[in-house]
Structure 1
Amino acid sequence: MAQLSVTTGDLSRLTTLVRSSDLEETQEIISHAYSPYQLDCLGDPDEFSAWYAESGFPGITVSGLSYGRRGGRAETLIRPQPLGSYLLVCEVTHGRVTVSSPGREEYRVGPGETYVLDPYRGFQVHWSPGARMFTVRLDREVVERAAADSLGVDGPVRARFALGKAISPQAARSWSTISGAVRQEVLGDGVARTNPLVATQLTQATASLLVATQPLITRGVHARRGGTVSHAALRRAMKLIEEHPDHPHTLTDLATAARVSPRALQEAFRAHLDTTPLGYLREVRLRHAHQDLLTAASDRSATVSDIAHHWGFSNLGRFAAQYRQRYGHPPSETLTG
């Protein structure tokens, strides 16, 4: 697997919950943070140490975790119970770990490599001395809706992930990019911390990329086409978008309102409007951003950044490019009159 970036950012942005050499204290605190687990020091217990810290925004929690000290001899074994309500995407930044699902799979992971722990399996993780990782935590329901959208079923589906690397080097790079963006939002005081719309969109994008890049297992579920969608269903989805453009809509939400499957709604938007449901939502928000810029041009009530972030455009460069393509000039020109 290609080595990915292991840049960690400013760790002071994470809230430290454990920095301890006490095994029982560590087990108790991290059991509450994740799920109940058994913790064993394999070697001299005087060499045991642990660090755990976390932070995030609504929808995603980023954590840092390490056991032992680099150059030491004490290894660590953890055996958590199944996670249940969420998934963990784990990226090793220092040292090595061996993760296994007893009697099924085993995967050795080094710096820059990633693995996924789904909510359903039992597993154990063997840590080399001083190994460290970052994790991205996503709610199970968010990921399983993304899996249903990907398969074109009404969902959600019971999504499980094989232990092992991403499905391709390109997929690994794509995951590394979104993981880096999430980490930057958390460690770099990003707008997702204070803007629910941006937080929801970034969470959904992260879940969708997880499903698209990691080895997904969905036994008994097969993609299917949605069939012909009536104009009434299309109008229902459009009406919801037009009336509530500031709501953090998902494809599943829009399909539910239209009373069709997500795949069928996507096909209807492409056939009749030459776009996607979320593309149409983005166009409506762009139109509202344009109106807000015109208002701000007369009363100086907001900046381009304020307006872009309000309408869920977290990447200002991308917002400016889309605005220029739609209106023929950059948003700053509208603001300055």
Structure 2
Amino acid sequence: MANSDAPAVPSLPWRFSTRTLDPDEASEQGTQTYYPLRMDILGGADQFRMSIDAMQLGPILIGDCRFDADIKMDFAELRDFYHINIPLSGYLDSRNLGNEITATPNRAVLYGPTGDVQLSRWSARSRILCIKIRRAALEAELERLLQRPIRSPIDLAPSMDLTHGYGRVLRDLASMLAGQIGHKDPLTRQEIISAPLWHSMLTHLLASADHRYREELLSPRSPCRPPALKRAIEAMRASPETPFTAAGLAEIAGVSIRTLQAAFHTHVDVSPMAYLRDLRLERVHADLVASDPPRTSVTEVAHRWGFTHMGRFATAYSKKYGVHPVKTLRSAG
């Protein structure tokens, strides 16, 4: 999360617990679990103790975290992640992008990929669910729900109400998942159960936090998209690697090129070919994140999904995800 030349954070097991009385050890474990950080004890150093019980759930890492002394922490911008802190007890004062928020059991604090983060006071004995979310996963979830590309990053509000509605459901879901961490055979280890759960976490976050797309996301759907538009979108989503052309898509849709382009601009806000490019970028990104770096090349994955000009591909990928595809591959695994 710091500079691009910062050492890679070691990979972690899918579930782990750690306890320490050593502040230096705590800083190291915090860096390994979350992001490179600087930690200072504000008071009660003789009572210092850190505990983390964490679990990876698809693109989400949920940590049940506690410090037995008042501490502060500083992070550089998160870049490839979104983050939520949900206190179950106590409070957390923090600052990001000029927003000073006190998180409590009734209000979560959220950080986007940009801007340094200062946790000015994590109150002693506060128990906080620290939820780290891959940026690409949350943005892909929003695009899936809206069925159109979005502008990245998502401008999530800096805090979120947890007392009712979607926010309360999100808090309860996060608490339930945290409760699974200590189970001998947690149900979340089974893909058939874990995938719907982490998708639900992302959906409830997008529904509860304010952002520029929330009204569209929650508003009743406008009348069904024209059948011609649906046919073109279904064809592209089913096989984005196919070398579609505007004329070929118009033929699939059963309308003229001009009519199809007008339908895309009216209902999706992009051209047919821009929609196809974004689909391909999503597939490339998903494959790079899941790849084994020594056995995979960016060129191979890009060609698999229909990109033939590597320079234009790399530019489009970097613009969408804020990082070169080679870096995504290096951080995979």
| Structure 2 CA distance for aligned equivalents of residues 14 and 239 of structure 1 | 34
Contact 1:20 1:49 in 2 (8 A): yes
- Secondary structure at the aligned position of 2:63 is classed as strand
- What's the counterpart of residue 60 of structure 1? 60
- What's the counterpart of residue 162 of structure 1? 157
What is the percentage of aligned positions where both structures have the same residue? 15
- Secondary structure at the aligned position of 2:160 is classed as coil
Structure 1 residue 49: Cα displacement: 2.2
- What's the counterpart of residue 74 of structure 2? 79
TM-score by length of structure 2 reads: 0.57
Kindly provide the amino acid, as one letter, of the partner of residue 164 in structure 1: S
Contact 1:64 1:132 in 2 (8 A): yes
Contact 1:56 1:186 in 2 (8 A): no
Kindly provide the amino acid, as one letter, of the partner of residue 36 in structure 1: P
Check 1:181–1:51 CA distance in 2 against 1; reply closer, same or farther (3 A cut): closer
- Secondary structure at the aligned position of 1:160 is classed as coil
- What's the counterpart of residue 332 of structure 1? none
Structure 1 residue 211: Cα displacement: 0.8
- Secondary structure at the aligned position of 2:130 is classed as strand
Check 1:135–1:21 CA distance in 2 against 1; reply closer, same or farther (3 A cut): same
Any idea what the Cα deviations from partners look like across 1:183-216, whole Å, max 9, x if unmatched? 455455443312x343333222221211111122
Q: Which shifted more, 153-162 or 124-133?
A: 153-162
- What's the counterpart of residue 178 of structure 1? 173
Check 1:207–1:120 CA distance in 2 against 1; reply closer, same or farther (3 A cut): same
Kindly provide the amino acid, as one letter, of the partner of residue 138 in structure 1: I
- What's the counterpart of residue 106 of structure 1? 100
Structure 1 residue 112: Cα displacement: 4.5
Report the number of matched residues. Answer: 226
- What's the counterpart of residue 188 of structure 2? 192
- Secondary structure at the aligned position of 1:215 is classed as coil
| Structure 2 CA distance for aligned equivalents of residues 15 and 264 of structure 1 | 45
Structure 1 segments of 4+ aligned residues over 6 angstroms from their partners:
221-226, 237-240, 258-261
- What's the counterpart of residue 138 of structure 2? 143
Q: Which shifted more, 169-178 or 228-237?
A: 228-237
Check 1:108–1:180 CA distance in 2 against 1; reply closer, same or farther (3 A cut): same
Check 1:95–1:178 CA distance in 2 against 1; reply closer, same or farther (3 A cut): closer
Contact 2:106 2:162 in 1 (8 A): no
Structure 1 residue 78: Cα displacement: 0.6
- Secondary structure at the aligned position of 1:161 is classed as coil
- Secondary structure at the aligned position of 2:167 is classed as helix
- Secondary structure at the aligned position of 2:77 is classed as coil
Structure 1 residue 26: Cα displacement: 1.1
- Secondary structure at the aligned position of 2:150 is classed as coil
Alignment RMSD, CA only?
A: 3.8
Contact 1:186 1:193 in 2 (8 A): no
Decide which of 66, 83, 90 is 1:88's aligned counterpart: 83
